[in-house]
Structure 1
Amino acid sequence: MAFRRRAKSHPLFSQEFLIHNHADIGFCLVLSVLIALMFEVTAKTAFLFILPQYNVSVPTADGELVQYHYGLKDLVTILFYIFIAIILHAVVQEYALDKINRRLHLSKVKHSKFNESGQLVAFHLTSLIWCLYVVVTEGYISNPRSLWENYPHIYLPYQVKFFYLCQLAYWLHALPELYFQKVRKEEIPRQLRCIALYLLHIAGAYLLNLTRLGLILLLLQYLAEFFFHMARLVCFTDENNEKLFNVWAVVFVVTRLFTLTLYILVIGFGLPRVESQALDPERGNLFSFLFNNILFRMSVLLLVCLFQASVMWRFIHFQLRRWREYWNEQSSRKRAAAALRVPLLPSPGYHENGVVKAENGTSPRTKKLKSP
């Protein structure tokens, strides 16, 4: 059951014991929940951890369709999948990243960045495929009007709700992983900021009933992030290979434009066309009522535009710094090559064909001896 081979054992319940055995502890907790499914007394409680709750039968033309909405019991399900994410994190680290790291012999700083990008490449690729499958099967791409029609989207299909629960679980699991992976203090503020932004956007789309728009935006975001972290991995193996960074730059700009366009299309033009409804928080009409208010709608769009502008500014600053470093390196290489091509100047006074030459290349005058 152990994920790692350890050279020595640590005292029970000590800090080092928890860090080195956190994946095994999580595996034991998950196994306990799965064993509880086998007994009738505990099966009902175990299902709270594994399956999404709050299912509702919605009548349709073809019969009844089971859909879901959110509630406090979702926190129990998210907690279970946090432990699943911790286990998968340890598996990827042990059986993939650590083996590659031993071959590359990276420094401590690059080792930490390599592990971060390796984990995120695996997560973004999985989420990208899963999210693309959901938006295609639910018809959100083929019918863009479905992003705002019949808002608020209180009831969710099973795969949409399960996707959001897993996304929240992954980004929440990243918080204790900062401790388990012994992330450097200099890197913690940046990673905390990234985790907080993802949690804010995903939880906001889930609670504001904007899950359809959130799926499309996550698809675009994960596409750009996948190319970025893939480019970093390639750069660690070959520092001169920066082709993927150029691909990422193009994908990043395109996804930012699509993101801003979707926000304006859905919030600026789509949601105002939803029929005005009376304020009814119990039915979920609170946010539909707010989005019918032009002041609230314009405030949301302003915040979105400011955030996207800040993201683009950081991107432009990063690109300018990268190009500056590239041209400085190229100019230093040219200067070094030019210095090698310049011939060495002769030292003052040297022999040529048995005759002593001066600095200007002429033969020095011989000193005349006085006659006795």
Structure 2
Amino acid sequence: MGIRKKTSKTPPVLSHEFIIQNHADIVSCLAMLFLLGLMFEITAKAAVMFVTLQYNVTIPVEGTPEGEPVSLYHYGIKDAATVFFYMLVAIILHAVIQEYVLDKINRRMHFSKTKHSKFNESGQLSAFYFFSCIWGASIIVSENYFSDPTSLWKGYPHTYFPFQMKFFYVSQLAYWFHAFPELYFQKTKKEDIPRQLVYIGLYIFHITGAYVLNLTHLGLVLLVLHYSVEFLFHISRLFYFSNEKYQKGFTLWAVLFVLGRLLTLILSVLTVGFGLTRAENQVLDINTGNFNILAIRISVLASICITQAFMMWKFINFQLRRWREHLSPQPSQKKRTVTSKGKKGKENGVNGTVTSNGADSPRSRKEKHS
């Protein structure tokens, strides 16, 4: 993410610089059009499809007093419109956090361009991860996934889910889709774009897969687990930028990262490899949302295992690079060693540091000899 330079000149309307500087206002106006559409009967039906969640059904649930009906949701093609609207909301919130929080901190800390970019990235992601962890954990507690782990696969397919569950998945997809235009709005460097596209694509692929294949219970638990570890990394990086002596957070993150990958594999194998394998209905039925067949189960496990292996490979390379940098001598130490060897241990200076006079002394002795 590049640094925004404020200039006195107003860029031409609809130019790249104009759109980048005013993208939050432009997107706000676009989102306002959908909200205004709710006020008129002609446009209300179309606007509702964007603003509110679709595909709600009323189902009588056993165990409730007198079979009290409960409003549940399922997914469909209209969810794409809802995801688009909340993608606009995510862009607006991104700009608000950037302008009123991160930019103010950047002005006080006077970061370099590299640290400025990483600070903005960690600031945005730490806020998102924290909010998602709290929201996802509250759903897990309310649905009793902790007290009954078999609910991850029991009753599959999980075709119908409560409002909070559907809104959570719609919001997750909206946030990660909003990351694509943010690459343009934040002037991301060309060399950083491939890395950004890879992890954005992985998030969208796995969240969409859990949503479409009706594996929402497992997907929710794995997302909260993954987000909690990522939140620790980015909040540790924020503290590191404010004080480079802060390293304990990265050590704790390294341990939890490995445990998170291991726990992700265990839950995935337990749910897909054992729980769904023992289910009675193992016939592909798109109408009822049942995807519990051998080919899909293998594809799901393969996708999760490959992603976890890829993350561990990146993690190991990152740790090895840090280890090499820690072991390699500093540039000042290298210069001091080379200078001391050239002078055969005869240093001229204070506390072992060579002064300019000492460096020039060999030439003066040569001129005197001639």
Q: TM-score, normalised by structure 1?
A: 0.84
C-alpha distance in structure 2 between counterparts of 1:179 and 1:20, whole Å: 11
Counterpart position of 1:236: 241
- How far apart are the structure 1 equivalents of 2:286 and 2:298? 22
Structure 1 residue 64 displacement after superposition: 1.1
Q: C-alpha separation between the residues in 2 aligned to 1:75 and 1:91?
A: 25
Q: Please state whether the residue corresponding to 1:283 is helix, strand or coil.
A: coil
Q: 1:185 to 1:65 in 2, by over 3 A?
A: same
How far 1:108 sits from its partner (Å)? Answer: 1.5
Q: 2:299 & 2:51 partners in 1: Cα distance?
A: 38
In 2: Cα distance, 1:16 partner to 1:334 partner: 45
Listed as ranges, the matches of 1:1-372 within 5 Å are 7-61=8-62, 62=64, 63-285=68-290, 287-288=291-292, 290=293, 293=294, 296-328=296-328
Supply the AA of the counterpart residue of 2:199. C
- After superposition, the Cα gap between the structure-2 partners of 1:284 and 1:317, relative to the gap in structure 1 and judged at 3 Å, is same
Q: 1:195 to 1:336 in 2, by over 3 A?
A: same
Q: TM-score, normalised by structure 2?
A: 0.84
Q: Distance in 2 between matches of 1:313 and 1:346?
A: 46
**Secondary structure of the residue that 2:160 maps to in structure 1?**
coil
Q: Alpha-carbon deviation of 1:5?
A: 7.9
Give the C-alpha shift of residue 333 in structure 1.
6.8
Compute the displacement of 1:334 (Å): 12
* Distance in 1 of aligned mates of 2:151 and 2:330: 51
For residue 302 of structure 1, report the CA deviation from its aligned partner.
Answer: 3.8
Question: Could you tell me which amino acid in structure 1 is paired with residue 269 of structure 2?
Answer: I
Deviation at 1:192, TM superposition (A): 0.5
Per the alignment, do residues 45 and 302 of structure 1 end up closer, same or farther by CA in structure 2, a change over 3 Å counting? closer
Shift of residue 140, structure 1, vs aligned partner: 1.6
Counterpart residue number, 1:369: none
Aligned residue for 1:70, secondary structure, equals coil
Q: 1:364 is matched with which residue?
A: none
State the alpha-carbon separation in 1 of the partners of residues 336 and 245 from structure 2. Answer: 18
Give the direction of change, closer, same or farther, for the CA distance of 1:327–1:78 in structure 2 (3 Å limit): same
Name the structure 2 match of 1:368: none
Tell me, in whole angstroms, the C-alpha distance in 1 between the residues paired with 2:302 and 2:129. Answer: 28
- Correspondence for 2:358: none
Q: Residue 35 of structure 1: CA displacement?
A: 2.5
The answer for unaligned runs of 5 or more in structure 2 is 349-370
AA paired with 1:274? A
Single out whichever of 311-320 and 78-87 deviates more from structure 2: 311-320
Per the alignment, in what secondary structure is the counterpart of residue 66 of structure 1? strand
CA RMSD, Structure 1 to Structure 2 (Å) = 2.5
Amino acid across the alignment from 1:310: F
Sequence identity percentage: 56
Quote the offset at 1:313 in angstroms: 2.2
